[in-house]
Amino acid sequence: MSTIKKTAAELAELFASGEASAEEIAREHLGRIRAVDGDVKAFLHVDEDNVLAQAQAVDARRAAGERLGPLAGVPIAHKDVFTTKDMPTTCSSKILEGWQPPYDATITARLREAGLVILGKTNMDEFAMGSSTENSAFGPTHNPWDLTKIPGGSSGGSSAAVASYQAPLATGTDTGGSIRQPAAVTGLVGMKPTYGGSSRYGVVAFASSLDTPGPMARTVLDAALLHEAFSGHDPMDSTSIDRPVPPVVEAARRADVEGLRIGVVKEFGGDGYQPGVLARFREAVELLESLGAKVVEVSCPHFGHALPAYYLIAPSECSSNLARFDAMRYGLRVGDDGTRSAEEVMALTRAEGFGPEVKRRIMLGTYALSSGYYDAYYGKAQQVRTLIARDFDAAFEQVDVLVSPTTPTTAFPIGERADDPMAMYLADLCTIPSNLAGNAAISVPCGLADEDRLPVGLQVMAPVLADDRTYRVAAAVERALQDRWGGPLLAQAPDLTEAVK
What are the catalytic residues?
A: 79, 154, 178
User: Which of 170, 183, 50 minimizes the C-alpha distance to 122?
Assistant: 170
Alpha-helix residue ranges (DSSP H) falling in 291-355: 306-321, 342-353
Q: How many residues does the chain have?
A: 501
E strands present in 46-88: 75-79
DSSP label at residue 427: G
User: Which of 175, 160, 190 minimizes the C-alpha distance to 411?
Assistant: 160
Alpha-helix residue ranges (DSSP H) falling in 231-305: 248-254, 275-290
| Residue 43 φ then ψ, to 5° | -105, 145
What is the distance between the alpha carbons of residues 437 and 264, in angstroms, rounded to a whole number?
18
- Prior bond of 154 cis (ω within 30°): yes
What is the distance between the alpha carbons of residues 229 and 9, in angstroms, rounded to a whole number?
13
> Quick one: which H or E segment has residue 26?
helix 22-40
Cβ pair 220, 193 in contact under 8 A: no
What end-to-end distance do the CA atoms of the chain give, in Å?
A: 24
Sheet strand arrangement including 169-173 = 43-45, 117-122, 75-79, 169-173, 213-217, 189-192, 440-448, 455-462, 401-405, 261-265, 294-298
> What CA–CA distances, in Å, run from 187 to 63, 151, 181, 191, 490?
37, 10, 10, 13, 6
CB atoms within 10 A of CB 341: 9
Cβ pair 43, 166 in contact under 8 A: yes
